[in-house]
Amino acid sequence: MPELLEAIMLICFGFSWPLNVYRNIKSHTAKGMSIAFILLIIAGYIAGIVAKLICHNYSYVLVVYFINLAFVSANLLVYFRNRKLDHQKLCKATA
């Protein structure tokens, strides 16, 4: 039962990441995005994965951790893309 509840928590929390990635891709700006927040969430997911691996707890919950980590990592890539777009807009505006 604890693993099921953990999986439900991760799934509920994880539903926001694909939506966030989509919104950030469409916005074409890094304004409002926080690199520190993204890295903190990535560190949390990595800690959860490592904890499962250390305890040899290979269950479906581990898969959910990896899926969430993938979406947050995608958001990190979008952050750098959007930051580059912001820089390009700034260069055009000052030229």
Tens digits of per-residue pLDDT, 34-85? 999 999 999 999 999 999 999 998 999 999 999 999 999 999 999 999 999 9
What's the total number of domains in the chain?
Answer: 1
Higher pLDDT, 92 or 50: 50
* Residues 6+ positions from 18 with CB-CB distance below 8 Å: 71
Query: Which CATH number fits the domain that encloses residue 45?
Result: 1.20.1280.290
Higher pLDDT, 95 or 38: 38
Give the pair of three-digit tokens for residue 34: 């926080």
Range of the domain at 32: 2-94
Residues 75, 69: Cα–Cα separation, whole Å: 10
Query: For the whole prediction, is pTM greater than 0.85?
Result: yes
Look at residue 14 and tell me whether its pLDDT is greater than 90.
no
